[in-house]
Amino acid sequence: MKRAAVIFFAVIMISMASCGGGAPRTEAEPDFPMRGEVPVSEKTVRFLGRYYESEGVYYTNLSCSGFEVRFEGTELKAEFISEPTDADHNTYIHVFVDDDYSALEKTEADGTQDGLANDSRILLEAGRSTVTLASGLEEGVHKITVQKANQSSLNKLGTVKLFPGDGAVLEPPTAKEKSILVIGDSISCGSNNLGEDLAVSYSASEDGLFTMAAYAARHFGADLEVFAKNGLYTSLINTAYDENMLRYADPFNEILAPWDTERPGRQRDLVLINLGINDTNVINSSGGAYSYEQFREDYIRLIQEVRALYPDSYILCTDVSASAAQEQKAVEEYVAQTGDENISFWLRGTVYSRHPLISTHRSEGERLIRELENLGVL
């Protein structure tokens, strides 16, 4: 769905020298265990989702992106740089200790300002701040997971340093056995899933960890990468910046650092394409300039690009909008053209009159889990 008209940006090319989303930077091998102030880098943490480096700071801007770190000790702090894109677009994060996600199960939202209960997010100050991620832990080895709640068009998040107190940062955790990439719009970001009436800010009403895909990822113990923005539609992905947007680390903030899917750890077992609602809006508002036939062609182009970037992934396309039938037809045409059988279309069956609350995301997540179990994908 569109919160407002989608306006995408003039292209600002950022040099490879300052943005490290493509080839890895040359970094000295760390000497673990690392004590004192520990710089955040590809050597000291495992990044979740897409990221890039700018002037020595690593940014994880997209919804559900972040990092994992192993440390020995009882507490861990981190220095962040929060860059809201507007005054009311504050940055929220989640912090989990030793894969304990139980706090998420307690959060409820009924859509009203007073209806949000058991909110476990941490609100970051704009600019630089040092945040206690965990304290009072039992002495020993722990894993801390930090994930961003908001989409990148609302705020950017850089992580500068880690402070393990009297302890030490250890070698980063290994990747999970399974992984999911979601390509979507505001629904995949969790826009307004905590309630449209949260007057604090737009970012306060959004949490990507309460989406259909996030529920499924936690169920399967899979890594989750989210490539989504409010208002995103198929033809825009295909044409922005003269190259498919999927090839960049954060095109929603005009960060054109390449995202190289051939680097180790960047292939995905499942690619979930959750688009269509905004395509319907584009078709309805175009006055006939853009048709369902053109949309099908664009959708097939998107599938082809996804297959080129993720040759072995299972592609599951899904939607609930008026465009769903066209998407299903596009998938069928693509299969007929290519013989690719590692793809299917799944009609979820829930038609939205507004952005869904977390209760709807949870129920759709349960249906997605059943669909993936039937397919034997994860």
Q: Is 250 left (phi over 0), alpha (psi -120 to 50) or beta?
A: beta
Spelled out in words, what is the top-level CATH class assigned to the domain 38-169?
mainly beta
Please choose, from the candidates 27, 61, 9, 39, the residue with its C-alpha nearest in 3D space to the C-alpha of residue 250: 61
pLDDT at 193: 92
**CA 172 from centroid of its chain's CA atoms:** 21
Q: Which fold has domain 178-375?
A: Rossmann fold (3.40.50)
pLDDT at 241: 79
Neighbour order of strands in the sheet with 314-319 = 222-228, 178-184, 270-274, 314-319, 343-347
pLDDT digits (tens, 9 = 90+) for 292-332: 999 999 999 999 999 999 999 999 999 988 889 999 999 99
CA dist 285 and 368 (Å) reads: 31
CA dist 162 → 24, 54, 60, 221, 296 (Å)? 21, 18, 15, 26, 47
pLDDT at 113: 66
pLDDT at 349: 74
**CA 266 from centroid of its chain's CA atoms:** 14
Q: Kindly state the tokens that stand for 91.
A: 């940055």
pLDDT at 23: 53
pLDDT at 116: 85
169 φ/ψ angles, rounded to the nearest 5 degrees: -80, 135
CA dist 152 and 148 (Å) reads: 9
Number of DSSP helices (H) and strands (E) in the chain, helices first: 8, 19
pLDDT at 289: 95
DSSP 117: B
- The four Cα atoms 91, 317, 346, 298 give a dihedral, to 10 degrees, of 120
Cβ(49)–Cβ(176) under 8 Å?
no
Low-confidence ranges of the chain (pLDDT < 70): 1-26, 113, 196-201
pLDDT digits (tens, 9 = 90+) for 245-282: 999 999 999 889 999 999 999 999 999 999 999 999 99
pTM for the whole structure:
0.92
DSSP 126: S
CA dist 209 and 96 (Å) reads: 12
DSSP string over 184-224: ESHHHHTTTTT-TT-TT-TGGG--GGGSHHHHHHHHHTEEE
Domain locations in the chain as residue ranges: 38-169, 178-375
**CA 176 from centroid of its chain's CA atoms:** 16
